[in-house]
Amino acid sequence: MNRREFIKRSGLFGATAAASPTLFLGGCSKPALPGTGEIATTPTVCDICFWKCAGTVHTENGLPWKITGNPDDTHSQGRLCTRGTGGLGAYQDRDRIQQPLLRVTEDGQQKFKPVSWDEAIDFIAERMQSIAGKHGNDRLALLAHGSGGTHFERLLNAFGSHIYAHPSYAQCRGPRDIGFSLTFGESVGSPDRTDMANSGCIVLIGSHIGENLHNSQVQTFTQAVENDASIITVDPRFSVAASKSQYWLPIRPGTDIALLLAWMNVLINEELYDREYIQNYATGFEQLKAHVQPFNPEWAYLETGLDPEQIRTTARTMAMHAPATLVHPGRHTTWYGDDTQRSRAIAIINALLGSWGRKGGFYQPEKVALPKYPAPKPDKSKTDWKSIIQKDFPLAPSGISQAIIENSIGDDAYIKGLFVYSTNLPLTIPNITQKLQQAANSLDLVVVIDTLPAEITGYADVILPECTYLERYDNLRNSPEKIPSLALREPAFKPKHQTKPGWWIAKQLAEKLGLGKYFPWQDYAEVLDWQLKQVGSSLEEMQKIGVKQFKRKTPLYFKPGEKVEFKTATGKIELYSGILKEYGYDPLPKYTPPQESPEGYYRLIYGRAPAHTFGRTTNNPLLFELMPENTVWVNSRTAKAHKLVSGDYVKLKNQDGVISNRIRVRVTERVGPNAVFMAHGFGHTAPNLRLTSNVGADDASLITNVKVDPISGGTGMRSNFVTFMEA
Ligand SMILES: Nc1nc2c(c(=O)[nH]1)N[C@H]1C(S)=C(S)[C@@H](COP(=O)(O)OP(=O)(O)OC[C@H]3O[C@@H](n4cnc5c(=O)[nH]c(N)nc54)[C@H](O)[C@@H]3O)O[C@H]1N2
Ligand SMILES: Nc1nc2c(c(=O)[nH]1)N[C@H]1C(S)=C(S)[C@@H](COP(=O)(O)OP(=O)(O)OC[C@H]3O[C@@H](n4cnc5c(=O)[nH]c(N)nc54)[C@H](O)[C@@H]3O)O[C@H]1N2
Ligand code: SF4
Ligand SMILES: [Mo]
């Protein structure tokens, strides 16, 4: 009998919180005057988002003081963003999970009981072995987002399970990865390989750089603005980026493919495209040319609401600066369910402008050739799990998170045990809570590894408290980028309470399961030191410098006239995609008109706010202070019709009758009359997130109409509509 009650309330999560009344005193009765103590510094890699900026943690007498950016780091260029600067709040958060917790039933009621690490590890290992005995070793899955996920992936691989997914695929970059890979044979990667510092023209399709605070991307965008680059921002909302733009195109939501097709039509018919580049590198031009003929700017006007002359002028501006014109691929691209087609259209325009592999467009990234630590390698998967759990998406290169949940439901489900590392699924995957509950009822084991008592912990059998990034080693940062570099994250503090680093937890489990040979290190520092020594550095050196840059071995851009072999089926840039055709999809980008709003409802759009990363920082005491709650942006006409004024609390009701938590109104001209906008990450319901619980509204709860992209499996989130109710 596996019925798991969703456990909402447990006084145990923050049991000792009352003992530390202020944030900075850390229990000292008489703190030294600030500035008089002993200062120490430790290198870190910020983990408040996934841009991975390198920085330095400064402590005074061992107590937190500040985190600054490392000047030798290209991700931060010496400056952390708002959120990274508030990283100390993750360490100081009073609501952190303090010890392992096990689901028990006492007096007929399910609750979490604090247990020792030994007890927690024993319990998990036993359940894993029992699953393996009944169903085979390959039935465990991992959902992860973040640096420590690799340790658990290794653990499951060593055990014989290979099923995993990251929400950064099907809830984020999936369509873009496939769209660009199908076209250029490679995806855009992270950090995005955009050469904005050298661009003469930048086109942003929704990308709201400036609110989306990926650090060096904001800095290179700012550089482009300072260089007088022409910025063209396509966004139904007057975003921060729109305010820096030469052209703001307030598009009707969901009609971007119509605009992109019209731009192609102008570039091709006015012969503004890079003819030589297309001749040398691309295939399918004639098919593309024929395909876009009907889609002139007048046609696009009817779909997008954008002035045809403005569509022509912006296409000509793009061509004027080409190849130093970058049509930004965006990052969170799971919007309307036709997202791979939109990403393909963006890729194709970049090809027409000749910007892939060219200065001011997309550079060719390079990583440091860092050898792997010589530990035994787990065997490869014996089962083709993707063809079992996500067979409808044969082109998906990665695991699809919602498919893992769906394949965990029912007695016949393929997946029998689930590890969730650093991803808060109820706020992350739209419309998932009911399925999560069903999955939790079916699975033999649910392990959640988190730092906070987030909503996802309520579904666990065992909750394992990881220490924060400021208290642990992780893998060296080695990203594909312009200047290859390595960066070190090292503990600045001893882990608080009984929390432990991910690498330690995975190793304990492995040892208990008799898989210790896959984790032969005593301390993860050994792994890092060994790796660093292979490339002429050492842990000791990195402890001093934090970031080390390496010389590139490959050219940054294509050389003029260079023969390039693209990693596509034809070895060329595929304007027409033979693979899409072969699998029964449209080989050239197809426009699908968006779903219309029901009468009296407004399209719900969402995005980022500079002070927060999703829902992972809303309980961070320092960042909470900067932005305690989100607001719903409402156009003044809409506000008038509903008699709303700024500061009012309302509830939002969606097309399926789901009602949100209360949220304050912000009346503004910056969003059109047909849509409303809110920042994602608020409206937590977990009661032990004491600062943020029940504050603001959660966009995810209102996203019940999910449009799944048939190519990538991405969950399109923007076909939802809301109206206002009294709070
Ligand atoms: N409705 C809606 N859904 C979205 C989006 C949206 O805008 N709106 N955005 C999508 C995008 S682009 C993405 S990338 C995903 C992001 O999705 P997630 O990465 O799932 O985002 P969070 O909700 O921030 O969840 C992070 C979880 O990790 C925990 N955590 C933080 N630090 C650590 C740590 O050091 N160790 C461990 N073990 N846990 C830690 C936090 O407490 C939290 O529970 O969401 C997607 N889903
Ligand atoms: N501060 C901060 N920065 C972050 C993050 C964070 O949590 N906090 N998360 C990071 C992550 S993981 C990601 S993936 C990125 C996401 O950031 P981006 O990829 O830049 O943005 P999106 O979420 O795709 O788009 C949000 C914008 O799209 C606009 N929009 C809505 N509908 C439409 C439409 O139909 N057409 C067009 N053209 N625009 C539309 C919205 O008004 C909004 O301005 O941000 C990253 N940066
Ligand atoms: S962009 Fe900001 S939050 Fe993200 S890693 Fe860099 S400093 Fe940290
Ligand atoms: Mo994302």
pLDDT digits (tens, 9 = 90+) for 571-589: 999 999 999 999 999 999 9
Contacts of 663 by beta carbon, 8 Å cutoff, 6+ apart: 629, 630, 631, 632, 649, 650, 651, 652, 678, 682, 683, 696, 697, 727
pLDDT of residue 356: 98
Q: Are 678 and 662 in contact (CB under 8 A)?
A: no
> What distance in Å separates the CA atoms of residue 90 and residue 469, rounded to the nearest whole number?
9
Report the separation in Å between the CA atom of 354 and the middle of ligand 1, taken as the mean of its atom positions: 36
> What distance in Å separates the CA atoms of residue 245 and residue 228, rounded to the nearest whole number?
10
Question: How buried is 536 (Cβ within 10 angstroms: 0-12 exposed, 13-18 middle, 19+ buried)?
Answer: exposed
Report the separation in Å between the CA atom of 48 and the middle of ligand 3, taken as the mean of its atom positions: 6
Summarised one tens digit per residue, pLDDT across range 494-536 is: 999 999 999 999 999 999 999 999 999 999 999 999 999 999 9
Least confident interval from 9-18, 222-231, 281-290, 590-599: 9-18
- In this structure, what token pair is assigned to residue 657? 């009758």
pLDDT higher than 60, residue 221: yes
Count other Cβ atoms within 10 Å, centred on residue 655: 18
Q: Are 237 and 679 in contact (CB under 8 A)?
A: no
∠ CA 203-338-246, rounded to 5°: 15
State the pLDDT confidence band at 686, using cuts at 50, 70 and 90: very high
Closest CA to 326 of 238, 465, 195: 195
Count other Cβ atoms within 10 Å, centred on residue 675: 22
State the pLDDT confidence band at 5, using cuts at 50, 70 and 90: confident
> What distance in Å separates the CA atoms of residue 14 and residue 689, rounded to the nearest whole number?
9
Summarised one tens digit per residue, pLDDT across range 69-114 is: 999 999 999 999 999 999 999 999 999 999 999 999 999 999 999 9
pLDDT higher than 50, residue 664: yes
pLDDT of residue 15: 43
pLDDT of residue 35: 78
SS (H, E, C) 433-448: HHHHHHHHHHCCEEEE
State the pLDDT confidence band at 2, using cuts at 50, 70 and 90: low
pLDDT of residue 369: 98
Closest CA to 75 of 42, 108, 49, 104: 49
Backbone angles phi, psi at 500, to 5 degrees: -140, 155
State the pLDDT confidence band at 1, using cuts at 50, 70 and 90: very low
Summarised one tens digit per residue, pLDDT across range 458-498 is: 999 999 999 999 999 999 999 999 999 999 999 999 999 99
Read out DSSP for 500-519?
Answer: B-HHHHHHHHHHHTT-GGG-
pLDDT of residue 3: 73
CA-closest residue to ligand 1 atom 19: 423
pLDDT higher than 80, residue 33: no
Report the separation in Å between the CA atom of 43 and the middle of ligand 4, taken as the mean of its atom positions: 25
pLDDT of residue 7: 80
pLDDT of residue 12: 55
pLDDT higher than 50, residue 24: no
Report the separation in Å between the CA atom of 253 and the middle of ligand 2, taken as the mean of its atom positions: 13
**Would the CB of 80 count as within 6 Å of ligand 3?**
yes
pLDDT of residue 29: 59
> What distance in Å separates the CA atoms of residue 34 and residue 29, rounded to the nearest whole number?
14
Q: Which residue has the higher pLDDT, 455 or 147?
A: 455
Question: How buried is 296 (Cβ within 10 angstroms: 0-12 exposed, 13-18 middle, 19+ buried)?
Answer: middle
Return the percentage of the chain with pLDDT > 70, whole number: 97
**Would the CB of 674 count as within 6 Å of ligand 2?**
no
> What distance in Å separates the CA atoms of residue 115 and residue 129, rounded to the nearest whole number?
20
**Would the CB of 253 count as within 6 Å of ligand 3?**
no
Q: Which ligand is nearest to the CA of 611?
A: 2
pLDDT of residue 26: 45
Strand partners, 671: 237
CA-closest residue to ligand 3 atom 8: 84
CA-closest residue to ligand 2 atom 10: 212
The stretch 310-333 carries a mean pLDDT of 98
Q: Which ligand is nearest to the CA of 211?
A: 2
∠ CA 625-630-636, rounded to 5°: 130
Summarised one tens digit per residue, pLDDT across range 536-546 is: 999 999 999 99
User: To which H or E segment does residue 125 belong?
Assistant: helix 117-135
Strand partners, 725: 651
**Would the CB of 214 count as within 6 Å of ligand 2?**
yes
Q: State the sign of the Cα–Cα–Cα–Cα dihedral 161, 162, 168, 172.
A: negative
Question: Phi/psi zone of residue 718: left (φ > 0), alpha (ψ -120 to 50 degrees), beta?
Answer: alpha
pLDDT higher than 90, residue 21: no
CA-closest residue to ligand 1 atom 44: 424
Report the separation in Å between the CA atom of 86 and the middle of ligand 3, taken as the mean of its atom positions: 10
pLDDT higher than 90, residue 28: no
**Would the CB of 424 count as within 6 Å of ligand 1?**
yes
Contacts of 275 by beta carbon, 8 Å cutoff, 6+ apart: none
pLDDT of residue 10: 54
Question: How buried is 538 (Cβ within 10 angstroms: 0-12 exposed, 13-18 middle, 19+ buried)?
Answer: middle
- In this structure, what token pair is assigned to residue 213? 């605070």
Give the three-class secondary structure for 66: strand
State the pLDDT confidence band at 142, using cuts at 50, 70 and 90: very high
The pLDDT mean for the chain works out to 95
Q: State the sign of the Cα–Cα–Cα–Cα dihedral 427, 613, 166, 568.
A: positive
**Would the CB of 477 count as within 6 Å of ligand 3?**
no
Contacts of 706 by beta carbon, 8 Å cutoff, 6+ apart: 430, 431, 715, 716, 717
Summarised one tens digit per residue, pLDDT across range 701-715 is: 999 999 999 999 999
pLDDT higher than 50, residue 19: no
**Would the CB of 614 count as within 6 Å of ligand 2?**
yes
